Amino acid sequence: MADDRSIALEARNLTKRFPGVVANEDVSLQVRQGEILALLGENGAGKSTLVKMIYGLYSPDEGEIFIKGEQVRLKGPRDAIRRGVGMVHQHFQLVPVFTVAENVILGDEPHRSVFVNMKAARERVKQLAEDFGLKVDVDAKVEDLPVGTQQRVEILKALYRHADVLIMDEPTAVLTPQETDDLLRVMRGFADNGVAVIFITHKLREVLAVADRIEVLRGGKVVGTTRPADTDAAGLAQMMVGRSVLLTVDKAEAKPQDVVLDVVDLTAENDIGLPAVRDVSLQVRAGEIFGIAGVEGNGQRELVQALTGLRKCTAERVTVLGQDALGKSPHHIHAMGVGHVPEDRETDGLVGPYSVADNMVLDRYDEPDFARRGVRRRGAIDELATTLVADYDVRTPSIQTTVQSLSGGNKQKVVIARELAANPAFLIASQPTRGVDVGSIEFIHSQIVAARDGGAAVLLVSAELDEVLGLADRIGVMYDGKIVAVLEAADADRAHIGRLMAGDVD
């Protein structure tokens, strides 16, 4: 059936090259007024490069961009905004001490004579919020707002500048399930009001729930366009990766044994000296995965750092296999049988200029298998690396290739391989699939379950509720530095956990 809505934005045959990389090749898309176009693809597929060209952050090497039928050459974001294209960035660009209204009008303030007309600004922002169903107090300071409301402020900034085309880059990354559902309803409201929406995400459930059309990129090229009615999550995953992907975690029932981690009343501060972890107590047993669910910024990062010796903390007790781990160094804790997959692989998990082989023994360099009398056993290191690259499907030209040259998914596989190859009694996996495509997620999940089935105790920390629900045997919900509930995964309800994540503990 023909769609008689006018085309709000069209890209024709866009190509963008960087040194040694073709990020986009001959990519075309169009989005109509009142339509939600989902842009889907694994990491490195070229989604971000494409929308940055549409928003004027990059200039295409080849191809054309049309806005409302007129060919344009965008010289920067200001040019795009002037033509009605707005972008909501994944990482908020707000001034915390300013009010909602002040943030929204910043850079485009209404004036009365030489003064900013704040009364007019407040009324305009308030009316805009009401028109698009964005519940927000225009006089509240941004620093006092939950992340879901801050996301709405970012959206209001774009709408205030008369956006007819709204690009939303991973807008649900830091939202609770309820906030995500609210945002999807808001996006549908935008479309009903004639706004064209380009929605970038890696969450298949959200795409199927809200998109009118779906365009899939792989390797910088368009590999298909479809509609939710004509596909499902498995079909989209196959388009993204190029093969069938198991989207549910395949695991047997857990058989928990003795307590491996025992924590009583652990408290830790954040980087500016404020309480981040508040009297947390938990136990993790051999043969189980204990998942921690929560919106990022509620103390998960500091808890993991305290348990791995990276952050000072106080506690009545922290033991691993009955040994005191409180105040011990990271190297000492690793020697106790603790594996650690850090949330930031680039900063804490890998040394970029080192080879794949050297990164495979980064925390085992002094073990007798890999060093003797202060001399590294190169042959043993290379033999281990060769085996792990094969076993963990690390895509690398050579074990001597620098790890910084690998894709994000392959970097993560190096970290996973290194930590699991040491057969840890206790594995801490923090955001283990962050920035990883669906194919690599399937593999990493299988390895974590295999570690559990091999007798390891696993503490899983993830901002992805679906990941926690799929992997965990027990779930602790963390809010404002505290574990506010512990649930058996078999009895866990997604909506209930979402309310707990938002602080509704009554």
d(CA 444, CA 438): 10
Express the helix, strand and coil content of the chain in percent, nearest 5 each: 35, 25, 40
Q: How many CA atoms lie within 13 A of 353 on its CB side?
A: 0
Which amino acid does the sequence have at 440?
Answer: S
User: Per-block average pLDDT, block size 10, for the chain (506 residues)?
Assistant: 78 91 92 95 81 94 95 93 87 86 84 76 87 84 82 86 88 73 87 92 87 93 95 90 78 94 97 92 98 90 95 97 95 95 89 94 87 86 94 89 84 92 95 78 91 97 90 96 95 89 80
Report the pLDDT value the prediction gives residue 43, as an integer from 0 to 100: 65
Coil/strand/helix, residue 300: helix
**HEC sequence for 118-159:** HHHHHHHHHHHHHHCCCCCCCCCEHHHCCHHHHHHHHHHHHH
Report the pLDDT value the prediction gives residue 3, as an integer from 0 to 100: 64
* Sequence ranges of the domains in the chain: 7-241, 246-337+424-506, 348-422
Report the pLDDT value the prediction gives residue 229, as an integer from 0 to 100: 95
pTM, full prediction? 0.70
d(CA 83, CA 86): 9
Report the pLDDT value the prediction gives residue 217, as an integer from 0 to 100: 92
Q: Which residue has the tokens 């009554």?
A: 506
Report the pLDDT value the prediction gives residue 495, as an integer from 0 to 100: 87
Same topology, domains 7-241 and 246-337+424-506? Answer is: yes
Class of domain 246-337+424-506: alpha beta
Asked whether 167 and 200 are in contact (CB, 8 A), the reply is yes
Q: At what angle do helices 177-192 and 494-501 cross, to 10 degrees?
A: 100
The architecture of the domain spanning 7-241 is 3-Layer(aba) Sandwich (3.40)
Q: Which residues pair with 39 in a beta bridge?
A: 200, 215
Q: Which residue has the tokens 């970097």?
A: 411
Asked whether 432 and 241 are in contact (CB, 8 A), the reply is no
